Structure 1
Amino acid sequence: MTKCNYIDGHYYEIFHPGWGGFVEELFFYTSRNYGVTEAFLRNLTGIPDFSMSAYKAKCLSELQKSVLATILTKAPDRETGLAVVNIINKVKKHKVDVDNDLLEIFPPRSVHKTPTEVHDPHKKHTHQVDISPIEPWLNMAKRLQMVVAVHSHHIEIDMQVLARHLNSENETIRNNLLNSIIDLHNAGYEIRNHPHLTHSEAHLIGDEGST
């Protein structure tokens, strides 16, 4: 069975679930809440001064979009993170090309076979996990005094607060958060922005265990 995303008239391979909602910011629509995506990529790549300022997903050229789609089918790690950053920096400079070495590693391709199962690219896809990542996440949120509401497979948090911790000077905190976010994405959890979320709101809208 050929599974794919249908985007702008093209069929692409399914994006890796580890990217979670960051796919939205990178591929579809860059919002004013890009700070978490920026902080995520900083930690993934080890580039502390990386900035997404002036990046707009709508400015991706067709070639850049196709290569980015290939990159996003792979798990988020340093190599794929650096590839994403490379594309972003091209767009920020108003360039439409892609470096040759990137084309060799992540060749632009679409699914040429007639797909038998087409997915909404905005729909989250998951990997099977042995242990739920939600308890470690809630424990970490409690230690960092982050207010979190968990409802089904949705996690609500103030993204500005999350970005601030991802930009922490404490490397252990940054790494733990990075890995926890990827684990949540892989397990099918969607992290949503809830500005100025309070403890009372979290307990009201969240399941038992929300902080």
Structure 2
Amino acid sequence: MHVKALVFDVFGTLVDWRSSIAREVDARFGGQVDGAAFADAWRAQYQPAMEEVRAGRLPYCKLDVLHRRNLDIVLEHFALDCDDATRDELNRVWHRLDAWPDVRPGLLRLREKYRLAPCSNGHIALMVNLARHNGFIWDAITGAELARDYKPRPTVYLCAASAFDLAPDEVMMVAAHSSDLEAAAMAGLRTAFIARPDEYGAGQGERTASVSVDVEVGKLIELADQL
């Protein structure tokens, strides 16, 4: 391999969206709803909303817009009511998700030899805010907003490589989701799987890749060791 840059999935791979959202929902709604169940329901709307864009039924829009639409659906499902200002503030929880403990030291180690960037369905402002919240240091921000489309469309991965003036096989996609890595590999990128077995709750995440990958590890620091 002649990898020169690593690009990362963010939601689930670098940040623990479920625990972060559940904590804020529990604090805001005071026992009216189970925060973890709310987080799961909100996340369940994620792929269907993006598919509206991928299929051309909606023009490209930033993920904040889709998350806000999805939030209205989930609030109605749980029979929770709040004003627009409260909904907008709750929607911003995606900008302050907490990272998994191994991420910041792992990124610092990897940055010694590789260029690093997120390759997320989150837009640039969202990625900047997550980086500042968690102390991530990026060399660039790539992903959906740059490509004007959503993963797993090939253009998202190819735009990430192009942003660094690199060939696809000089870039490694790092993710905790086999489907993301499968799509990246089909676009010509190298792939690394990071296990996040608790992403959807205890024992409810992917422990091993279900597709062929170049590297498979349990923690981000282990990826640095292998590379």
User: TM-score of the superposition, structure 2-length normalised?
Assistant: 0.26
